[in-house]
């Protein structure tokens, strides 16, 4: 009798994963939030606030995207959602809601239903040994995460590089990859023949699992597969039994975090309700709701309309914080959001800088201190939003930042708006809020508890803002007409004006041509000065008659229009430039009104008067520099 009891006990538990012994259940099998999963770099707390389980945390942290039915967590969309919750655009980011009816679920995209390429013979995993590399698995995890968010179920299968895998195979891939990453290995995953779970089942679970615990779960999932050749029905943890489908979703979110942030999250939160639809639908490899993964090794999946020729590379969080201060100052001064920002001589569109700010907020609050890889980011399709008035607390703007990073990584462009506890935040308001968050961090060296909105709706303006990175001394020609940089905002000295058409394609192309091969601010300025001086003849007339663009074709101008062209070309090349107006005594003895330029090189505004072949950059030879009358120095002039 005792022997029969043992046999029955073994049979019941064959499809389950248990902790190794009773004392290990606190670090036992992990699964993820199916209705509400959030990946976290660290458990979030503000100034050591109590966590949801009542414990006190002594460090600060963040939570990545999550949504409960009645929570304040926002959604990032680039198209509107109707009131029923239907998805109007396949690129919307929607977190699943447990109580959504099946009629309100998005119908699976036809590209997913008919995802098998006719160019590739689709093979079924399980018939032989397969090897899938880490990069492809991370791409697949990101795809499954989005699939679950949109459809509130796992796909029936995934197709990776033309090979079709069951979800049992995929759970093994996920588990093994997490174990490999924990062991600092980038090995590919080899698959054998794995059977589907016999009877997936689970309980309602809610809580958080630390990194060490979900790694432990992954190890035991792998061991279960390799011992029994079958997927587990569920994983037993101290929080409850995590069903097979829920583990797939949870592990997918972990590896999506790795794909975005290059590190494992410090913990994962989940909230699985007994009514969750995700666990009601059993995936079948013969089903119609499959998912094809587009994996291109070594290539970015992002697209962009960027045309500013930025060389994308790593940027330090320190530089991003300083540039955010410059951005905040510009928005405060002009009540507008610029179209681009200049950081260490490199021009980034505001959509690209939004990505850097959002990623910085994630990194700073998760304690990750490493450079962030910049990338091309397309502009939002349109900007919509409301005048919001209220307080966005840290947990909410951190969540928003995390989902913006995910959205841009997925779709290669900035979102139109974000729904938050204070309302629908317009794209420009998100930029404004994030710049103020990072400015606070830059000044106070700690996270702000909240960001307040006062009801204003910002507009974008075609302006390039310069950053506040300290200007290093550069050896330039000494002249009494030079001025010391006083640390003022450089935004106004980089923007387009009526007669200095910085963003005009003609000006942009000419500036690029002239400065080709130049590697420093000084070499660019000298090249631009020499071109204007050598190619534009002098014509005597009063005030502006042409503007910079017309001078490129007439190649003849007075001092005002010559200055317009030199300043426009300088600003188009990322060099702050300004006008100086006064009265000068020329070598002929004539004392007349005169206008020239100054270009900022390092920490010096260097004089640049290109109307005479006797002058050079930083050197004036055609009028007396000892006693001129200076009326003023300006970002733009009206005469």
Tens digits of residue pLDDT in 145-169: 888 888 889 999 988 876 788 899 9
* Percent of residues in the chain assigned helix, strand, coil, to nearest 5: 35, 20, 45
Separation in Å, CA 223 to CA 200, 229, 251, 380, 542:
18, 10, 16, 46, 85
pLDDT over 90 (residue 414): no
Q: How many CA atoms lie within 13 A of 51 on its CB side?
A: 17
Q: What is the pLDDT of residue 253?
A: 87
Q: What is the pLDDT of residue 345?
A: 66
Q: What is the pLDDT of residue 76?
A: 31
pLDDT over 90 (residue 40): no
Quick one: which H or E segment has residue 454?
A: strand 450-454
3-state secondary structure at position 603: coil
pLDDT over 90 (residue 103): no
Summarize pLDDT for 438-459 with one digit per residue, the tens: 988 888 888 888 888 877 666 6
Can you say whether the dihedral through the CA atoms of 215, 219, 220, 221 is positive or negative? positive
Residue with tokens 């994962």: 268
Is residue 331 exposed (0-12), middle (13-18) or buried (19+ Cβ within 10 Å)? buried
CA–CA dist 567, 572 (Å, integer): 8
Q: Model confidence at 102, in pLDDT bands (50, 70, 90)?
A: very low
Strands 291-293 and 157-160 turn out to be parallel
**Is 590:636 a contact under the CB 8 Å cutoff?**
no
Of residues 113 and 559, more confidence is placed in: 559
Is residue 274 exposed (0-12), middle (13-18) or buried (19+ Cβ within 10 Å)? exposed
Is residue 415 exposed (0-12), middle (13-18) or buried (19+ Cβ within 10 Å)? buried
CA–CA dist 556, 561 (Å, integer): 9
Other Cβ atoms within 10 Å of 23 Cβ, number: 9
CA–CA dist 581, 563 (Å, integer): 11
Above pLDDT 90, what percent of the chain? 28
pLDDT over 90 (residue 594): yes
What sections of 96-133 are H helices per DSSP? 110-113
Of residues 222 and 124, more confidence is placed in: 222
Average pLDDT over residues 591-609: 91
What average pLDDT does the chain have? 74
Least confident of 30-34, 391-395, 486-490, 514-518: 30-34
3-state secondary structure at position 300: coil
The ranges of the chain annotated as CATH 3.10.620.30 are 483-634
Residue 68 has which token pair?
Answer: 């409960």
Q: What is the pLDDT of residue 445?
A: 84
User: What are residue 272's DSSP bridge partners?
Assistant: 205
Least confident of 29-43, 200-214, 215-229, 366-380: 29-43
Summarize pLDDT for 361-388 with one digit per residue, the tens: 988 888 888 888 888 888 877 666 666 7
Least confident of 26-40, 405-419, 531-545, 590-604: 26-40
User: Counting every residue, how long is the chain?
Assistant: 639
Average pLDDT over residues 3-31: 39
Q: Model confidence at 474, in pLDDT bands (50, 70, 90)?
A: low
Is residue 39 exposed (0-12), middle (13-18) or buried (19+ Cβ within 10 Å)? buried
Write the CB contacts of 517 (distance below 8 Å, at least 6 apart in sequence).
none
* Cross-sheet strand order for the sheet of 163-166: 123-124, 163-166, 157-160, 291-293
Strands 38-40 and 123-124 turn out to be unpaired
Average pLDDT over residues 233-259: 86
Q: Model confidence at 509, in pLDDT bands (50, 70, 90)?
A: very high
Summarize pLDDT for 271-301 with one digit per residue, the tens: 888 778 888 889 988 888 888 876 444 333 3
Assigned architecture for domain 483-634: Roll (3.10)
Q: What is the pLDDT of residue 382?
A: 67
Least confident of 128-132, 247-251, 358-362: 128-132
Q: Model confidence at 111, in pLDDT bands (50, 70, 90)?
A: very low
Q: Model confidence at 132, in pLDDT bands (50, 70, 90)?
A: confident
Least confident of 108-117, 150-159, 257-266: 108-117
């Amino acid at each position: 009798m005792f022997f029969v009891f043992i046999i029955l006990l073994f049979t019941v538990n064959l499809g389950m994963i248990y902790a190794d012994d009773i004392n290990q259940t606190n670090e036992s099998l992990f699964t993820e939030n199916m209705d509400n999963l959030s990946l976290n770099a660290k458990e979030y707390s503000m100034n050591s606030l109590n966590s949801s389980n009542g414990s006190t945390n002594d460090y600060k942290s963040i939570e990545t995207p999550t949504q409960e039915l009645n929570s304040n967590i926002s959604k990032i969309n680039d198209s509107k959602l109707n009131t029923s919750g239907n998805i109007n655009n396949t690129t919307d980011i929607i977190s699943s809601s447990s109580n959504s009816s099946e009629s309100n679920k998005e119908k699976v995209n036809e590209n997913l239903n008919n995802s098998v390429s006719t160019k590739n013979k689709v093979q079924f995993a399980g018939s032989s040994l397969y090897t899938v590399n880490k990069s492809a698995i991370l791409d697949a995890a990101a795809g499954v995460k989005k699939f679950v968010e949109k459809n509130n179920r796992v796909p029936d299968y995934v197709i990776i590089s033309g090979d079709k895998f069951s979800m049992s195979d995929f759970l093994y891939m996920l588990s093994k990859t997490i174990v490999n990453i924990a062991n600092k290995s980038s090995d590919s995953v080899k698959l054998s023949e794995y059977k589907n779970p016999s009877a997936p089942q689970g309980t309602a679970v809610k809580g958080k699992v630390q990194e060490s615990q979900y790694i432990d779960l992954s190890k035991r999932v792998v061991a279960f597969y390799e011992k029994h050749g079958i997927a587990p029905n569920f994983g037993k943890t101290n929080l409850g039994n995590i069903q097979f489908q829920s583990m797939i979703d949870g592990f997918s979110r972990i590896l999506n975090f790795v794909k975005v942030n290059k590190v494992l999250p410090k913990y994962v939160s989940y909230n699985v309700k007994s009514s969750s639809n995700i666990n009601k639908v059993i995936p079948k490899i013969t089903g119609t709701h499959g998912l094809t993964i587009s994996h291109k090794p070594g290539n970015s999946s992002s697209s962009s309309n960027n045309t500013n020729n930025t060389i994308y590379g790593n940027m330090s969080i320190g530089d991003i914080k300083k540039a955010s201060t410059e951005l905040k100052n510009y928005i405060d001064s002009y009540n507008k959001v610029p179209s681009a920002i200049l950081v260490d001589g490199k021009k980034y569109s505001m959509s690209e800088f939004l990505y850097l700010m959002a990623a910085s907020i994630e990194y700073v609050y998760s304690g990750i201190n490493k450079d962030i890889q910049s990338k091309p980011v397309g502009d939002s399709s349109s900007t919509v939003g409301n005048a919001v008035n209220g307080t966005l607390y840290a947990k909410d703007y951190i969540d928003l930042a995390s989902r913006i990073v995910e959205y841009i990584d997925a779709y290669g462009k900035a979102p139109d708006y974000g729904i938050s506890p204070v309302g629908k935040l317009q794209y420009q308001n998100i930029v404004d809020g994030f710049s103020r968050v990072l400015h606070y961090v830059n000044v106070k060296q700690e996270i702000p508890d909240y960001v307040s909105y006062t009801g204003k709706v910002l507009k974008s303006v075609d302006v390039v803002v310069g950053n506040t990175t300290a200007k290093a001394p550069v050896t330039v020609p000494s002249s009494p007409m030079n001025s010391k940089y006083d640390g003022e905002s450089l935004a106004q000295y980089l923007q387009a004006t009526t007669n200095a058409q910085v963003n005009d394609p003609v000006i942009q192309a000419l500036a690029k041509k002239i400065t080709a091969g130049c590697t420093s601010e000084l070499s660019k300025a000298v090249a631009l000065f020499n071109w204007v001086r050598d190619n534009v003849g002098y014509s005597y007339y009063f005030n502006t008659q042409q503007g910079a663009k017309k001078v490129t074709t007439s190649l003849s101008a007075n001092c005002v229009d010559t200055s317009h062209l030199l300043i426009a070309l300088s600003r188009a090349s990322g060099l702050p430039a300004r006008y100086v107006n006064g009265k000068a005594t020329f070598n002929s003895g004539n004392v007349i009104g005169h206008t020239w330029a100054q270009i900022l090189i390092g920490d010096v505004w260097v004089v640049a008067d290109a109307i005479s072949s006797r002058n050079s950059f930083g050197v004036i030879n055609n009028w007396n520099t000892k006693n001129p009358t200076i009326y003023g120095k300006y970002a733009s002039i009206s005469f």
